[in-house]
Amino acid sequence: MSLAAVATKRFQVETPDIVRHDWTREELRALFALPFPELIFHAQTLHRAHFDPCEVQVSTLLSIKTGGCSEDCGYCSQSAHHDTGVKAEKLLSIDTVLAEAKAAKAGGASRFCMGAAWRSPKDRDLDQVCAMVEGVKALGLETCLTLGMLTDTQAKRLKGAGLDYYNHNLDTSPEYYGEVITTRTYRDRLDTLDAVREAGVHVCCGGIVGMGETREDRVGMIEALANLPVHPESVPINMLVRVEGTPLAGASGLDMIEFVRTVAVARISMPKSMVRLSAGREDMSEETQALCFLAGANSIFYGPLLLTAANPERDRDMRLFNKLGLKPMSA
Ligand code: SAM
Ligand code: DTB
Ligand code: SF4
């Protein structure tokens, strides 16, 4: 173990309440390179200092506006730039969304996340989206939206409607970003995160691995997330779902131990955040998911569909929770 790793480990384990925003790449590299038992012990220690390790927060996703997106994100089934077979649809009606939210609550979700395939919402769309947020909140669910880039005014309107969380991911390292998306910049994303934070809405922000990036890019992604002025309250770590017709359909994928290491480093560097084991669980073994929970993941998407891609059936997840003695966290 390098000296930097030893120092970081001692510092964090002995002072779990200190939340840092000055992570260096060297420290994060050293964490990634720790022997696996040391890394998991370190992540578990911090996880237990802040959370019940047997509780997992459960969110359900709904695509409220699917396909036809003007952005060119290389991973996405919904970009109009790629031929994936996903058709452009209109914004769902408020009644349809509320019926789905009721079903999600009955199924055991505590948060309802609504996603739209937009570069950014138009102000007239926001009227309808605000009504959705109000209706979902009235059902006793936490609300989350992901609609693309927001202005300060739009973020404040959503806060006024009762929005709890806004998801907007940095996706990857600043260096690799341009290989994946060309239609908006890293700076654009940081500006939206600032607008959301400024409006008083909790931030959900993470990224995707398995896109052909290097470990250094994973280090860079965690560095960008963990050095935000305030840590995102939720940090989704997505494993790329390789979608036929996207530029990343042939990406080489990622070793699952490296995926678990990424989860652990997110947990250690953002000790009070919820770390979500996000897209890609459909193809993960129970053992990999169990390792992710040991590494500090404490949130999942629950229900058979993400936005357009498959997620495990509810009963499969409940069987896994029962086997592992995990229970859903209440809102
Ligand atoms: N259009 C909005 C935006 O991009 O901010 C909201 C929806 S977008 C689908 C939300 C996030 O889902 C993306 O930022 C990306 O991190 C993740 N995502 C999309 N497609 C994915 C895929 N094939 N595999 C893994 N994660 C994916
Ligand atoms: C996030 O980080 N992952 C979710 C959510 N935020 C919106 C989306 C995953 C999308 C997976 C691919 C699909 O369903 O099309
Ligand atoms: Fe559009 Fe979001 Fe997909 Fe990018 S990730 S193409 S912005 S829906």
The model's pLDDT over 36-77, given as tens digits with 9 standing for 90+, comes to 999 999 999 999 999 999 999 999 999 999 999 999 999 999
In 3D space, the residue among 23, 48, 91, 123 whose CA is nearest the CA of residue 298 turns out to be: 48
Specify the pLDDT at position 2: 57
* Ligand 2 centroid, distance to 279 Cα (angstroms): 6
- Token pair recorded at residue 55: 């509780």
Output the CA torsion 114→69→75→168 (10° steps).
Answer: -40
- Token pair recorded at residue 294: 């040991």
* Ligand 2 centroid, distance to 101 Cα (angstroms): 17
List, as one string, the DSSP characters of 165-222: EEE---BS-HHHHHHH--SS-HHHHHHHHHHHHHTTPEEE--EEE-SS--HHHHHHHH
* Ligand 1 centroid, distance to 76 Cα (angstroms): 6
Higher-confidence residue: 88 or 2? 88
Q: Tell me the H-state helices in the chain.
A: 3-14, 25-32, 36-50, 94-106, 123-138, 152-160, 174-180, 186-198, 215-226, 256-269, 286-294, 314-324
Single-letter amino acid, residue 116: A
**What percent of the chain shows pLDDT beyond 90?**
91
**Which protein residue's CA is at the shortest distance from atom 15 of ligand 2?**
308
Evaluate if residue 3 carries a pLDDT over 50. no
Alpha-carbon gap, residue 74 to 250, rounded angstroms: 11
- Asked whether 243 lines ligand 1 (CB < 6 A), one says yes
Q: Which residues line ligand 3 (CB under 6 A)?
A: 69, 71, 73, 76, 78-79, 117, 119, 148
159 burial type by CB count under 10 A (0-12 exposed, 13-18 middle, 19+ buried): middle
22 burial type by CB count under 10 A (0-12 exposed, 13-18 middle, 19+ buried): exposed
Given the CA of residue 70, which atom of ligand 3 is nearest to it? 1
Provide the 10 A C-beta neighbour count for residue 265: 31
Active site residues: 69, 73, 76, 113, 144, 204, 276
List, as one string, the DSSP characters of 87-114: PP-PPPPHHHHHHHHHHHHHTT-SEEEE
Alpha-carbon gap, residue 154 to 201, rounded angstroms: 12
Which residue among 73, 75, 211 has the greatest number of ligand 3 atoms within 8 angstroms of its CB, and so is best to mutate? Answer: 73
Query: Which residues does 22 contact at the CB level (< 8 Å), separation at least 6?
Result: 227
Mean pLDDT over 26-31 rounds to 97
Straight-line distance from the first to the last Cα atom of the chain, in angstroms, rounded to the nearest whole number: 40
- Side-chain half-sphere CA neighbours of 270 within 13 A: 29
| Tens digits of residue pLDDT in 116-148 | 999 999 988 999 999 999 999 999 999 999 999
102 burial type by CB count under 10 A (0-12 exposed, 13-18 middle, 19+ buried): middle
Higher-confidence residue: 330 or 294? 294
Closest ligand by atom to 234 CA: 2
| Tens digits of residue pLDDT in 226-250 | 999 999 999 999 999 999 999 999 9
Mean pLDDT over 165-180 rounds to 98
Which residue among 120, 154, 169, 181 has the greatest number of ligand 1 atoms within 8 angstroms of its CB, and so is best to mutate? Answer: 169
Alpha-carbon gap, residue 151 to 132, rounded angstroms: 19
State the pTM of this model.
0.95
* Ligand 3 centroid, distance to 320 Cα (angstroms): 31
Evaluate if residue 161 carries a pLDDT over 60. yes
